[in-house]
Amino acid sequence: MSVLLIYPIVLIQWIDSMALPATYLMLFSVSLFLKLTSFHHVYYDNRYLMRRIKAAKKPEQAVEDLATLFNVNERTFAIAMKYPNNLKCWHYLRYMFAPTCCYQHIYPTSPSIRVGYVIKRMFEITFCYWFMWYLIYQHMMPIAKTSIKPMKERDYLQVLLHTLHLAVPASYLWLTVFYSTFHAWLNFLAELTQFADRRFYSDWWNAGNLSEYWRKWNQPIHNYLLRHIYFPCRRSGLSAPTCLLITFTISAVFHEYVVVGIFSIVNFVAFFLMMANIPCMLLQKQLKNVISGNTNNMLFWLVYVIFGQPFGFLLCYYQMTERNQEFQVSLEVPFP
């Protein structure tokens, strides 16, 4: 499993990959890692369930009675009882291509594949990809290059102006990445695999606090963190704040891992920004009767989108150029 996480970074360094392909390679590696760990956890629980049934000495009872006794869905329990014969190659392959990071014995299934729907999603993915290239190399890169001098000279006013100048294209890029990934790409995979659960995101743009935002922004990852990290920690007897800290720490580590692969630098910016969500969420909870949800939403768009992401991009680009004094970084390629 460790090779699965190390190989993408080595490959990106070896071929001197550009940022956009490197981003998708890192995200693919993370999703594959999560899928494999979920598969392992589910069958570990399956084997544990079989041991519990054997220890209870009640294998002769009806399936519905045992499912009620062990608090497991009846249909899922019936399949789990067939272990190891419930390991099906086709179901595993479908899971690996399906837009979910949580393995299950049963998935909701659509009756057929709509060809027109698939073509539409393919067109959206292609358009979004080229639009992202356009934003990065025609709008964001020129600003990032001119920001190197004020960053070196610690001219904070100019850095602020460059950050504000970058805010609009960075916001468009972020929203395009969101749409292409969570709407176009995941629905494309869902249609091909006849995966009927299409709730990949909710109305995160209306979130009244950070806790609501993280629940709605990325449903596949949120479901994975709940199922394989938060709830197992709770079942082990840990308090809710401790489980929240562990969950966000693991998420922060993977955010930093993705940034390291894309920009080839280790600055822990992504890690600490993710960890900063915890005190902010606790503060918002304490002030929920003082600060309205609309105010929190406005602060989110102001701090995270207008200032946070543009400045993070400038900082990472500056550190890349500092690491490579010839300024021949992997991002500097002509627009295709």
Mind telling me the catalytic residues? 255
Single-letter amino acid, residue 244 = L
Peptide bond into 241 cis (omega under 30): no
- Smallest CA-to-CA distance from 34 within 248, 164, 229 is with 229
Identify whether the C-beta of residue 166 lies closer than 8 Å to the C-beta of residue 181: no
CA atoms within 13 A on the CB side of 284: 21
- Considering only CA atoms, give the Rg of the chain: 23
Whole-angstrom distance between the N-terminal and C-terminal Cα of the chain? 35
**Distance in angstroms (rounded) separating the CA atoms of residues 139 and 132:** 10
SS (H, E, C) 227-274: HHHHHHHHHCCCCHHHHHHHHHHHHHHHHHHHHHHHHCCCCCHHHHHH
